[in-house]
């Protein structure tokens, strides 16, 4: 009998045959012919290598893989999804969607020339991000703001510019991993600063920091523990006590606050997430925060603080390597304007989601269930903020639940539809949480569910 590996290899189609397969011809779209040949050749080569590695079924679905790849290259497969997970800031789904005004401002900045570093009054060189600085000053009282690529860059740059070659004191309970490889001890090492850990995992006092301060100390660093919470027998100094201690010893205080919150989360029945305004008021010298968590803007890192320190950070060579581009600056500016106008709850999507009332969510899901028919019902659920904010805390919510013998398959059909829907499985059924389905997505969602269950 022929050996199965040879049989699998012989069964592979030729490049020509696959290029001319009707499904592939159909999927070619506007792509250039030679490119289709390259895609096909690459897919066949990969399949051959997989067969040689011992997987004799590797050719199964080869044509479909080529068709999918062509659809992606030609831009016919969108990766825009409806978020039915109930996780408001979902890193795997791109974190915060921005407001319509923010998207428009980013689009305008992207497609035009703009006075990015030109003062239109004098026609001379002006400061990049000057409007954002003035907005942040108004909102939080911060003297200066520098916008960089993301918060990881903000922390790295801040430490490199202020503390390289010297000690930075961190509580053992805060030497954490935020996720995605961002570990405070590693970032410190990368910046050239020396980590000095004090206290214990659950309890650290001002006196622990104080006794570690010596001539080589550059700063005290406070880190928001982000994705995890220690509860029970815990102690952690107030930020204002730490900043007072730092000032008394002539060293810097730095806070990595994470989420960049400007509103009070306790209004929605959640715990209180520290706000940028509170951090500034505590007197901390520099604060680092993300732009696309609770701020609700595009991916960015904000370095906020005292003039003299932020200026030192801005002049560090690494600052240029991590600086924000013009679309990001336009997006952050437009997002901050919603806070200045007091309209963030209605306009900034993450705050829109957080501030929906349960009655409204109940009504919304009841409407969905009624229009979907007998397989759909409404369930009480819990949504979460996500993105490392308020771990373990939930927001009451409602979901539409679709009955199916094979919920995993239904969830997959929903993901692979023309408008992909990401759901979650609750008690063995597919659930789509109303809190994270954005306004205006209702019809597209119902259409997608109908297709998936028909």
Ligand X SMILES: *Cc1c(COP(=O)(O)O)cnc(C)c1O
By CB under 6 A, name the binding residues for ligand X. 150-152, 155, 178, 182, 223-224, 226, 256, 258, 290, 301, 388
Q: Would you say 354 and 89 are in contact if contact means Cβ atoms under 8 Å apart? A: no
CB of 289: closest distance to ligand X in angstroms? 8
- Which SS3 state, helix, strand or coil, does residue 179 take? strand
**What are the DSSP calls for 139-151, one per residue?**
HH--SEEEEES-H
Rank residues 18 and 193 by Cβ distance to ligand X and give the closer one.
Answer: 193
CA distances from 230 to 89, 180, 225, 383 (A): 21, 21, 9, 21
CB of 91: closest distance to ligand X in angstroms? 8
Rank residues 175 and 330 by Cβ distance to ligand X and give the closer one.
Answer: 175
Rank residues 12 and 318 by Cβ distance to ligand X and give the closer one.
Answer: 318
Q: Which residues lie across from 72 on neighbouring strands?
A: none
Rank residues 295 and 354 by Cβ distance to ligand X and give the closer one.
Answer: 295
Rank residues 150 and 282 by Cβ distance to ligand X and give the closer one.
Answer: 150
CB of 114: closest distance to ligand X in angstroms? 25
Q: Which residues, other chains included, contact 335 with Cβ-Cβ below 8 Å and sequence gap of 6+? A: 98, 99, 102, 291, 295, 296, 297, 298, 348
CB of 222: closest distance to ligand X in angstroms? 10
Residues 27 and 43: their CA atoms lie apart, in Å, by 15
- Which SS3 state, helix, strand or coil, does residue 88 take? strand
Q: Which residues, other chains included, contact 375 with Cβ-Cβ below 8 Å and sequence gap of 6+? A: 402, 403, 404, 453
CB of 294: closest distance to ligand X in angstroms? 10
Q: Would you say 203 and 159 are in contact if contact means Cβ atoms under 8 Å apart? A: no
Rank residues 208 and 256 by Cβ distance to ligand X and give the closer one.
Answer: 256
Rank residues 258 and 349 by Cβ distance to ligand X and give the closer one.
Answer: 258
CB of 388: closest distance to ligand X in angstroms? 4
CB of 211: closest distance to ligand X in angstroms? 25
**What are the DSSP calls for 418-445, one per residue?**
SS-EE-EEETTEEEEETTSSPTT-HHHH
């Amino acid at each position: 009998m022929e050996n199965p590996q040879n049989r699998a290899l012989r069964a592979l189609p030729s490049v020509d045959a696959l290029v001319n397969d009707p499904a592939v011809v159909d999927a070619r779209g506007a792509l250039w012919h030679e490119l289709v040949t390259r895609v096909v050749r690459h897919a066949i080569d990969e399949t051959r290598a997989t067969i040689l590695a011992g997987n004799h079924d590797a050719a199964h679905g080869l044509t479909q893989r080529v068709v999918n790849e062509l659809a992606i290259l030609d831009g016919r497969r969108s990766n825009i999804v409806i978020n039915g997970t109930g996780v408001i800031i979902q890193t795997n789904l791109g974190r915060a969607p921005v407001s319509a005004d923010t998207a428009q401002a980013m689009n305008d900045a992207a497609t035009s020339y703009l006075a990015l570093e030109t003062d239109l009054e004098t026609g001379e060189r002006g400061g990049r991000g000057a409007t954002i600085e003035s907005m942040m000053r108004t909102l939080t009282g911060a003297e200066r703001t520098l916008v960089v690529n993301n918060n990881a860059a903000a922390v790295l740059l801040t430490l490199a510019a202020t503390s390289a070659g010297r000690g930075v004191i961190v509580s053992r309970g805060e030497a954490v991993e935020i996720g995605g490889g961002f570990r405070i001890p590693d970032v410190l090492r990368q910046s050239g600063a020396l980590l000095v850990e004090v206290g214990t995992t659950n309890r650290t006092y001002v006196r622990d920091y104080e006794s570690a301060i010596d001539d080589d100390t550059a700063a005290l660093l406070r880190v928001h523990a982000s994705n995890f919470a220690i509860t029970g027998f815990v102690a952690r100094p107030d930020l204002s006590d730490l900043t007072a201690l730092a000032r008394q010893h002539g060293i810097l205080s730095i806070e990595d606050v994470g989420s960049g919150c400007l509103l009070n989360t306790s209004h929605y029945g959640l715990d209180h997430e520290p706000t940028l305004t509170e951090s500034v008021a505590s007197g901390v010298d520099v604060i680092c925060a993300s732009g696309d968590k609770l701020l609700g803007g595009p991916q960015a890192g904000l370095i906020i603080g005292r003039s003299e320190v932020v200026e030192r950070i801005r002049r560090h060579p690494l600052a240029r390597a991590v600086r924000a581009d013009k679309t990001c600056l336009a997006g952050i500016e437009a997002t901050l304007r919603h806070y200045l106008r007091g309209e963030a709850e209605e306009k900034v999507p993450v705050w829109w989601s957080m501030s929906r009332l349960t009655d409204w969510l109940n009504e919304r899901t009841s409407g969905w269930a009624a229009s979907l028919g007998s397989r759909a019902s409404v369930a009480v659920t819990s949504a979460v903020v996500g993105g490392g904010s308020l771990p373990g805390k939930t927001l009451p919510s409602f979901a539409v639940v679709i009955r199916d013998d094979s919920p995993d398959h239904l969830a997959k059909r929903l993901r692979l539809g023309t408008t992909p829907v990401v759901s979650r499985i609750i008690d063995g059924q597919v659930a789509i949480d109303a809190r994270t389905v954005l306004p205006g997505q209702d019809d597209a969602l119902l259409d997608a569910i109908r297709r998936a269950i028909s």
